[in-house]
Amino acid sequence: MNDPFAELRTGFTAAVSHELRTPLARILALLESAELDGADVQTLLEQARAEVEQAGTLIDEILFLAELESGQEIVSLGKTNALPLLEQVVAEHEEAALRAGVSLRAEGDPDVDLPLRPRMVRVVAENLTENAIRYAGSGATFTLSIAPGPILTASDDGAGVQEDELPRLFERFWRADSARAGRGTGLGLAIVKHVVAAAGGTVEATSEPGRGLAIRCVFPQ
């Protein structure tokens, strides 16, 4: 009997292998460079350490996404008042946002709950915020907002995304050409989509180049 998910699993395994080879190759190159005469060993080791941390983050996100897809990670368990958690996430990312030249805000209805565990609200908010810090561009303002519906919206007035790239925004490991030099894993928005979908919600993205990106997460009441 044919396994309908075999092709998907094979593709996922191949993508994981490809994504892990890249930081491992860079680590090896940095360590080999450190053995050369006159090399700045300390700088090269610091760069290698950063690559190890990046690979660790990638592995953690791959495992988390696998748990979501298998149903092992429980997403919905009661309801969580959203705005206080959104404000916490924004506060925790202020330093990184300052370095990137991005302003962060959290706003909305303080009485709105999301049908998610607190940890899952945080996962969604963190991935949306980190995506904006990496890719919105210096001078942009990013806003996490919560409204009755319930609807969670993440919007910025930054670089935006090409129209033909929007359908791929939530694919695992996919990054726009303009984002490939960044330090993201390519899994953040895929994780957002899986969490929202697991709670019975939907996610959509709208954008225009140079006029920002808006990601709208609509949950069942």
Tens digits of per-residue pLDDT, 165-215? 887 787 765 555 444 444 545 677 888 888 888 888 999 998 877 789 999
Q: What is the pLDDT of residue 174?
A: 54
- pLDDT band per the 50, 70, 90 thresholds, residue 30: confident
Residue 126: closest CA among 74, 187, 59, 175? 187
pTM of the model: 0.65
Q: Which residues of 156-189 are buried (b: 16+ CB within 10 A; e: fewer)?
A: bbbbbbeeebbeebbebbebbeebeeeebbbbbb
Angle (deg, nearest 10), helices 6-34 and 41-70? 170
Domains of the chain: 6-70 (1.10.287.130), 80-218 (3.30.565.10)
Tens digits of per-residue pLDDT, 111-121? 999 988 788 88
Report whether pLDDT(145) > 90: yes
- pLDDT band per the 50, 70, 90 thresholds, residue 4: very low
Residue 156: closest CA among 103, 84, 109, 89? 103
